[in-house]
Amino acid sequence: MRTPPSDYMLTHVVVDDATIAQDDPQAIIDPVWYSADFYESIEVLEETLAPFSWPQRLVWAVLWTSAEVCNGGLEQFFSNSTA
């Protein structure tokens, strides 16, 4: 699992009009980014993703895919240790 920044605190985020009005999409995805653990097994991944909404999971998946592809292309995405 990645280490969150020192000021990070896991919180319950309700995505409503007030959250959207803050114009801070990172506040919505950071809890997923720092909680998802895909290094152990698919079961652990599912367990760590369970608290999050389906849209949060989808955004996390897109961001992680982008990070991997930008780090080495599709080969990096499909063949590294987090495959």
The radius of gyration of the chain's CA atoms, rounded to the nearest angstrom, is: 14
Is the pLDDT assigned to residue 3 strictly greater than 60?
Answer: yes
In a domain, residue 21? The reply is yes
The pTM of this model reads 0.65
Tens of pLDDT, residue by residue over 44-81, are 889 989 988 898 899 888 888 888 888 888 887 777 76
The rounded distance, in Å, linking the Cα atoms of 39 and 2 is 10
- For residue 29, give its domain range: 17-79
Sorting pLDDT into bands at 50, 70 and 90, what band is 8?
Answer: low
Tens of pLDDT, residue by residue over 13-53, are 677 788 778 888 787 788 888 888 888 888 988 998 998 88
In a domain, residue 2? The reply is no
For residue 39, what are the contacts with CB-CB under 8 A and spacing of at least 6? Answer: 1, 81, 82
Q: What angle do CA 73, 60, 29 make, to 5 degrees?
A: 135
Please state the length of the chain: 83
In a domain, residue 1? The reply is no
When divided into structural domains, the chain yields a total of: 1
Task: Give the model's pLDDT for residue 82.
Answer: 60
Please state, as a whole number, how many other Cβ atoms lie within 10 Å of the Cβ of residue 45.
Answer: 14
